[in-house]
Each structure stands twice: as C-alpha cells, then as structure tokens.
Chains A and B, each alone.
Chain A
C-alpha cells in the first residue's frame, strides 16, 4: 500500500463547531467535536468507504476535505498541495478537480432551475463552456448517466428520486474531476433503485478512472463498492484497512459490534449468527469521553481506556486500529 500514489492525504484533521450563548455579546461556551484528529490517504483510482453511525463526523470529514467547512486545524493535501492554506482564485481552480454528490436528491437540486441549467452551471462558473458548447456537453452528460438528453428542459420535480440522483451525478461529472465525495448517495433511495445508482457509479469509475470517497452507514453496500474502508466513531477513525481484511478480521471492538449488527438477507445465515449487542447510545460529541471514545460502550474496556487516547497504529501491513487492547 505504501508505494501507492495518494491523490488525497488527510493529516490530523480537526473540525470543531463552536456552541455560543448570548444574544449580543456572544461567548463560546463549548464545541461540538465533530472531527477530532483524523488522518488517512485516498489512493488514485480507488474507492475508500467511510462508515459510521449518524453523528460520527463522516459527512463533516467529507465537507472539510472539500473546504466547504474550513478545518479547525490539520492539513488536506490534494496532489501534494495543501488545500487548507489555499484561498481565492487558486482554491476555485482546485475545486474543479473535486466534486460532491449529496444524500438528499430532493434538497440538493434547485427547484427553479432546469436540469440543463443545473448540470451546466459548473461549466459556466468555471468558464469551461458556454452557449451551444455547454448544451452539447449537458446532453452528453445526461446520456452518460442514463437519462434522456431531451430532459434538459425539465425541472427537478418531474423526476423520481433515482433519476434526481443521476442528475446530481451528472452535475458532479461536468468538470471531469478526479475525486468525487459521495455523501450517502443512495440512502434516500428504494432498494431496487439503489442498485441502479451504485452500478452507475461503478461504471463511471471504471470509464473515467475516478477516485471516490464513499460515505455511508450501510455496511453491506460499503463492502460492495469499496477497496478500503475506514470506520469512524464519534469524530475519530477507529479502524482502517482493505475491504477484505476489515470484513474478515475486524479488530476494533466497535467494528466487530457494527458488523455483527448488520442483518443479512438470508434466514439460514441469520440463524447461525452471534450478535454483539452494544449497550447504551453514542455519547454527545460536545463532551466526548476521555481516553478512548468508545470506552463507554465497549464490552472490553479497562482502566487504561479511560486514561489515554489510543493512537491509530499499524498492526499488520495496511491495517490500522485505534485500540489499546489490540
């Protein structure tokens, strides 16, 4: 893995959201520790799955990478250049190369714009194409994502959820980016439609050598689409390794519990399974537990877990775990 070419390198990324009180004289009374010291690489042409439960910071991580949120500290190197230090025109030029697909296909398309305008907007903003040239490109993009090019004059409400998500994919592809951050792109869709969109994403990756950061909470789908998988819990990365290694030999107690909780659509397999049922809820990210973030729900926690924060260590080649007991 070490000799692979990293397109994106995230280093000690931290994002706190301030909580302030007071109407006129606002003072900060705390912070939501949304992302707390996260580091990982994404290699060129791979799909890195980022999984975790709601509120674990996976979407914030994605948005902070794209500098949609500016990080509290840390670095994001894209092709060797630090995005955190970048501003203005330089940042704008850089944005061409990384795009995003959002979770909610109903909220992420402007209802007053036609599909053609939505997909063409990035081309206009970045001065790539205008007029007839832009329209031709929009038609190509619509074909590419499996929609009828004649639809470019229609409005988003005329489409189903799956079709809207295809529009979102076309918009992300318009500028021919290298990296697409897919933020739960299928969780709002029905099962039979999910497969359509996932197959489309896989085809596009093969055809255009795209790199994906695939953020999701559906562990079965993440296993299906990813080359490597990172598991997040309460703002930190608990475990990161190749897909096969993670699902065959999960080492972090949280990963083990998470995998055991996923239902398998096969009654014979379900009968044989042993579930690890975690106690309690995820603690608040305003006041995360000391030491290991997972210790309050961990069935194996000992005193050291409350005292020191476990670093993400490489326990076997390419397999990183943040746990004192591994």
Chain B
C-alpha cells in the first residue's frame, strides 16, 4: 500500500542566545493508511517538534524548518501556501494536544469550538455544524451532549475535556490523527478510558494515528510500529513486538530496563542511564548517545551512525551490536 504521509530529511532549528538548537535532525518516516505509529522519547528529544514542523505549527522565529519534505497525498506540506495548509490542518490531518485546559479558548462555548472546523472546512451553517457537533460529542462519550454544547471548557473535568478535544479533532473525519501525549495529564483510570475511546474510533473511522508519548507502556498496546527518538534523531524503528522483544539501540535497551514492570515478580535493580539528554547546538560528528552509552567504542566518537536496516522492518542508528559489544 502506498504511503499516506511521508516525511523525508526533516530538519528544524531554534535560534537561542547560545546559538541554533538542532531540535530535529534529518528525520524520515512514513505512515500508511489506517496505521498506528508511535514516536517515543524523553522530553526535549524532538518528538513534538517533528510533527509540529510537518504541520507548520512551529513559531517562526525563533524556530525554522531548514530542510526536508512532508508529502501528504502527493503534496509537500512544507511548500504549500498558508491558505492550502489551512485546508489540511484540522480537516485531513488533525491534532490532539497534551493539556486539555490550555488547548481550548476559555471564553467560547464547547459547541462553538467543536463545530468550528465544519464551518471553516465544510462550509456548513452554524446550526448544522452544532447538530453534528452534538453527535460527535455523543460518540466520544459525553453524557447529555446536546445540553453541554453551551457549556464552557472549565465546566468539564480533565478527562471529559480530553474527550471534547478528540471530538473536535475528529469532526471532519481526518485521515491522520496526531496525538501528542494526549493522556499524560490524566489519571491512569481516565487514561485507560481515553485509549479505549481512541482505539474504538480508529476502528470505526479508519484513520491513521501518530501517537507521541514518553510512556513505552502505552505504545506497546496501541501501535503497530514504534520509532524511538533521541537528541533530535530517530535512533531505532521497528514493529512493536520486535522493538520490545529485541531492542538493539543501547538507549532503547536502557529505557526499557529503567522501567519497572507491574507484571514482574522478582525485585530487580533498575538499570538507570547515567547523565542527561543532550541539547545539540551543532550537528555532532559523534553518536549523540555516546556520552551516556555503556557500549561506546572509538568509532562512536568519530562518526555519527545513520539508520541501518538490520532485519525485516527493523532499523537502528548504532555502530555496536549490544549482544556482543563489538562493532556490527
């Protein structure tokens, strides 16, 4: 099947007083129709900036997409006019953000905000759009949806607000939903509700999902493929079972080892990763993970590894084979 969405060589920089921060460094990925892909990484690794860049949501200045292309249905989102990309955003590709409180306009009713994409993209009248909004709110599990159209965001709880945001994102039945840590601010029982909801809607509406998270647990049960990001690079990509079963990058291995698992019986000391994630002010000529890596060899300090295919649907950017500790 052809790619629905294909990003190649994306680079994003932010100008700061210390110099240009290299937030995204040549990221490439693709998304097929109806597929769910996870992007995993710690704060500051560039996972949100990557998707924001493709949708041109990076504030410029200080940010700037300096290279790459993001092909959606044969067209490069990065070369579109502002008018054109507005027709894509919220209609064909839409986003759900982490913080449901700050993502709404507090002085407009929920109904107005959920219905707005229909008025803009589909040219519906306000009344028609509101009617559709009520249906959508019902679909995401808001009780008395019709009456609640006139409520304001603060009248909803965190979990309910996130449901409303999902309704707003899906009201134009987009092909791609980008979920940027949508459950991070929520309690675990509410998180389970939201994940079940998105899974159900995915099956009903057949959209593709890019799920951004720092929680390796969420992606395990949700995505088909996972990309791990570090320092603005994708450092490993594989099908979920492969990635969790046979992680190959020392960072992925460390990340999985540092997570306690609820289903393991024996107490094991967590393997922590020493040091801190990097802030890159230049393109390093060494592996960005080398300063924290247990396996680092001389080669790692001399050349930044590129993603290489090491098995079916498994790529990794590392010189070392972690099973032997020698160069691959």
Contacts and interface: CB of A to CB of B under 8 A. Distances in A.
Interface of A: 53-54, 160, 162, 190-196, 198-199, 202, 217, 219-221, 223-224, 244, 247, 257-271, 273, 275, 277-278, 281-282
Given A192-B255, A195-B271, A264 B241 contact: no
B187 A190 contact: no
Contacts of B265: 244
Contacts of A202: 269
Contacts, number: 120
A192 B292 CA distance: 11
Contacts of A224: 260, 267, 270
A261 B269 contact: no
25 contacts: A53-B189, A191-B216, A195-B270, A195-B273, A217-B188, A224-B267, A224-B270, A258-B188, A259-B262, A261-B192, A263-B221, A264-B221, A264-B261, A266-B220, A266-B263, A267-B240, A267-B241, A268-B245, A275-B196, A277-B192, A277-B193, A278-B192, A278-B193, A281-B159, A282-B187
B43 interface: yes
A53 B159 CA distance: 13
Interface string B211-227: 00011111011000000
B89 to A, nearest CB: 29
Please provide the 10 A-B residue pairs with the shortest distance between their CB atoms, ordered closest to farther. Answer: A263-B217, A270-B221, A224-B260, A195-B258, A261-B192, A195-B272, A53-B187, A195-B270, A192-B273, A265-B216
A262 B254 contact: no
B42 to A, nearest CB: 4
Contacts of A267: 220-221, 240-241, 244
Interface of B: 42-43, 157, 159-160, 187-193, 196, 214-218, 220-221, 240-241, 244-245, 254-263, 265, 267, 269-274, 276-277
A191 B220 contact: no
Nearest to B240: A267
Contact of A265 (B42, B159, B256, B274): B256
A166 B216 CA distance: 25
Contacts of B259: 191, 195, 220, 265
A150 B94 CA distance: 50
A190 B215 CA distance: 10
Contacts of B193: 277-278
A162 B262 CA distance: 23
Given A53-B187, A220-B261, A281-B159, A263 B276 contact: no
B157 A220 contact: no
B255 A191 contact: yes
